[in-house]
Amino acid sequence: QLVQSGVEVKKPGASVKVSCQASGYSFTTYNINWVRQAPGQGLEWMGWISPDNGNTNYAQSLLGRVTMTTDTSMRTAYLELRSLRSDDTAVYYCARDAFSYTSALVGYMDVWGKGTTVTVSS
Amino acid sequence: IVLTQSPDTVPLSPGERAILSCWASQSIGNSLAWYQQKPGQAPRLLIFDASNRATGIPARFSGSGSGTDFALTISSLEPEDFAVYYCQQRSNWPPWTFGQGSKVE
């Protein structure tokens, strides 16, 4: 399972760091994706990180504001988003790839955290 | 790659068949998944690689299609199937993208 950190309320221009702790599987074998969902809206893929080697791939729209990291000793993935705006208000999910990073089927997400609500408001 | 789902909302009754469509702006082979999301919950993987059911998914859920045209069929709706369904592509290399969702009400 994936257990995420709690609710965050931030002011515009601030930064937020959300955590996602994994258990019950080999943490370094599967990529972790981050997906967000604004209120009443659809799903937006933000990027992924390989806990095995730290490689990342970010959505173009977030480049320069987002950093994904992992701490393998803590089996935890982190999402940091900087220069927050009101349209960053959303539920942020971490989601594990369904297949190992060595598979040709990376990109499908089978285990999801419950989500972390981030509200950006002055 | 842009994914467009249809319909946005479909009113149905338990026992009826639901057919949801997803179109890709360019060919993605069979690199498509379907997810179900209920209010206040995270998405749940139903189908991967267009037609393969994920672990524990009932047989009433089936996926079809390849290239640019895909469909999710729920053969006989159960009360717990009323939800929003999203398609997602993972063709070639990131970014992965989701469709806008179809609500079965």
Best mutation site among B35, B92, B96, B100 for testing chain A: the one with the most A CBs within 10 Å?
B96
B51-84 pLDDT, tens digit per residue, is 999 999 999 999 999 999 999 999 999 999 999 9
Please give the distance of CA A65 from its chain centroid, rounded to a whole number.
13
Weakest mean pLDDT among A53-62, A85-94, A97-106, B54-63:
A97-106
Q: How far apart are the first and last CA of chain B?
A: 28
Distance CA B28, CA B67 (A): 5
Distance CA B75, CA A5 (A): 38
On whether any CB of chain B is under 8 Å from the CB of A25, the answer is no
Of B33, B42, B95, the CB nearest to A113: B42
Reported as a pLDDT band with limits 50, 70 and 90, residue A101 is confident
| Rg of chain A on CA atoms, in Å | 14
DSSP count for chain B of H helices, then E strands: 0, 11
A15-72 pLDDT, tens digit per residue, is 999 999 999 999 999 999 999 999 999 999 999 999 999 999 999 999 999 999 999 9
